[in-house]
Structure 1
Amino acid sequence: MKRSVDAINKFLKPVASNIEFSIDQDSGRTLVKVVDTETNTVIRQTPSREVLAIAKELDKLQGLLIREKA
């Protein structure tokens, strides 16, 4: 997956240097970011940080429920 993301970034760099693909360390999900190239600030990210945080908490909750059933 990392190689694919790196290949996409390399391809896009000459034509759209403000778009970056990456992989979220915690969830393994692919992230797409629009970055201000002058300040290197993330303008927009999909999925958003909030969505990633909610998904992480839901995974924890699911783990608790499975442990209680066992």
Structure 2
Amino acid sequence: MANNDLLVQSALQSVQNNVTSQSKPVTQSVQTETVTELSVQSQALQKEAEKQNSQQQQRADDLRDKVAQLNDYMQNMNRNLQFSVDDTSGDTVIKVIDSETEEVVRQIPSEEILEARHAAEKYRGILLETKA
């Protein structure tokens, strides 16, 4: 009886060793493929983000150039208008200025509107987080 137990144990050990040795390469292959896929996806996402940042920077540069051209044009026309871009919101701001006193007669959008937009932008993230 003891011999049969020894034979069964040795057979079990050889089967376990055989299964273990066969499963390791498959696991390593699957893990390597998964890591490779994740790496390719990560690189694609990074390239897309860089492309979007580049496009956004280009648009901002183009907008600043157009604002400078408008300011030059209005000065040549002896008009009392000043164009600018609000740094925080990116909105175009137009000011009508009295040429004698250099006082702002009118601003579109007004300072109050710009401040309200800045405040709303500051709290937008908080409002979205509480709903989620």
> Which aligned runs of 4 or more in structure 1 are off by greater than 3 angstroms?
none
The structure where strand makes up a greater share of residues is 1
Structure 1: segments with no counterpart, 5+ residues? none
Q: TM-score, normalised by structure 2?
A: 0.49
Question: What residue number does 1:22 align with?
Answer: 84
The residue number in structure 1 matching 2:75 is 13
**Structure with the larger RCO, 1 or 2 (CA within 8 Å, 6+ apart):** 1
Q: Determine whether 1:50 maps to 2:100.
A: no
- Percentage of identical aligned residues: 37
Q: Does 1:39 align with 2:115?
A: no
Matched, 1:61 2:123: yes
* Unaligned segments of structure 2, at least 5 residues: 1-62
Structure number with larger C-alpha Rg: 2
Whole-angstrom CA distance in 1 between matches of 2:122 and 2:100: 38
More helix by share: 2
Number of aligned residue pairs: 70
